[in-house]
Amino acid sequence: MKGLLIRSMENKEKIVIFYIDQENTVTQRFIRIKSIHDNSVLAYCYYRKKVRSFRLDNILSCGPVKRRVGA
């Protein structure tokens, strides 16, 4: 997981994470990593439309955003 976060930061790519918020609710967030710290990441959150901090131990999974192929 950490490798994908680092790659996202280096390539400025949007990724999707599944995250446990403060109310213990699992949420899906589309983010772009700004910086990685020991136990958190600083990222632009497309849901909140602002830069947010996410604790690494609350990130359940992450993956690349699949691009739509449309007509």
Task: Indicate which CATH number applies to the domain containing 58.
Answer: 2.30.30
- Residue 70, in any domain of the structure: no
Residue with tokens 């691009």: 67
- Residue 67, in any domain of the structure: no
- Residue 39, in any domain of the structure: yes
Kindly report the pTM of this predicted structure. 0.84
For residue 30, pLDDT beyond 70: yes
27-42: burial string, b at 16+ Cβ within 10 Å, e else: eebebbbeebeeebbe
- Residue 71, in any domain of the structure: no
Q: Are 31 and 17 in contact (CB under 8 A)?
A: yes
- Residue 35, in any domain of the structure: yes
Confidence band (pLDDT; 50, 70, 90) for 9?
A: very high
If one counts the domains in the chain, the total is: 1
The residues facing 2 across adjacent strands are none
- Write down the pLDDT at residue 69: 67
Domain of residue 39: give its range.
Answer: 2-62
